[in-house]
Amino acid sequence: MKLCALIFLVYLAIGAVAGKKNKLCSQILDKLSDLEDLINKKQDCCEPKPVAPPSSCKEIYDKDSASPNKAYDLKLGDEDDTFNFDSKAWSSMSPVSPENGDTGLDDLETLLPTYWSTSFSKICLGMKVDGVTRFLPLHQKADSLYALIGDGQYRATSLGRDAWKKLIGPSASLQRNCNREGFNSRGSGSVKTRIGIIANQEGDCRTPDSFIGFGGAELSFKNVCGNRAAYFPDHGNKNTKAFGYIFVQ
């Protein structure tokens, strides 16, 4: 009987020790798991996050505002004929007032060396009308903006007339036909634009009377940048002058 009791007590002691060991092992494994999670979190924290590309033209400007020369190609307005359609500035490789490239979204015209020296896959077009600046992104690959414009050849885009009208806002107006858009858009008449869209009330592009664009020309109103519309346009006759901004990315 004493022998049986002794064996039973030894069994209990071994069981208790084994239970403590199992519990201790379990606790150690839990701690190791917590430590592993902590290490993984620290690695995630320390690893650099991928930088998302800018989602809008405005974001590109904000990002490069400290060094606008990285983004600007040119700024143009209607103070003079510096950037009208027939200006030599479009077909030359000479800067115009490069000091104005550091002044932000103001009304100081400039053409920077990036016009002929910077390749890109996206153009950001902006127009300021009555103090409100609106942007339009254009996905276009080129060695430079000069490569698209300088030789005077027409190169089509496919944004659509409604997209171009957004640059002006709710007052935008165009005739309903032709709708030739892109670079060096022109017919046989006086209405033409270096970047933008021309339209006509007739079923062709020979004599357009309206446009929205940058580097425009219209003999009667000399609208270099903005919206000119006459002869039955969809939102009435207009001669809206804007200040334009062109960025590349």
Beta strands in 13-100 (DSSP E): 72-76
Residues 6+ apart with CB under 8 A from 25: none
Mean pLDDT to the nearest integer, 177-193:
93
pLDDT value of position 73: 74
Mean pLDDT to the nearest integer, 36-53:
52
Give the separation between CA 105 and CA 138, rounded to whole angstroms.
19
- Which of the four pLDDT bands, split at 50, 70 and 90, describes residue 78? low
Cα dihedral value 166, 77, 222, 248, nearest 10: -60
- pTM recorded for the entire structure: 0.74
Give the separation between CA 83 and CA 226, rounded to whole angstroms.
12
pLDDT in tens, 88-110: 999 999 999 999 888 888 899 99
Give the separation between CA 112 and CA 83, rounded to whole angstroms.
13
pLDDT in tens, 125-166: 999 999 999 999 999 999 999 999 999 999 999 999 999 999
Mean pLDDT for the chain overall: 80
- Which of the four pLDDT bands, split at 50, 70 and 90, describes residue 190? confident
pLDDT value of position 232: 96
- Angle at alpha carbon of residue 58, lines to 64 and 199, rounded to 5°: 125
Query: In whole angstroms, how far apart are CA 111 and each of 49, 108, 118, 129, 210?
Result: 35, 10, 13, 20, 26
DSSP labels, 160-176: -HHHHHTTT-TT----S
**What's the alpha-carbon Rg for the chain, to the nearest Å?**
33
pLDDT in tens, 59-76: 655 554 444 444 567 888
The number of C-alpha atoms within 13 Å of 227 and in the hemisphere containing its C-beta is 25
- Give 91's DSSP letter: G
Amino acid at 135: F
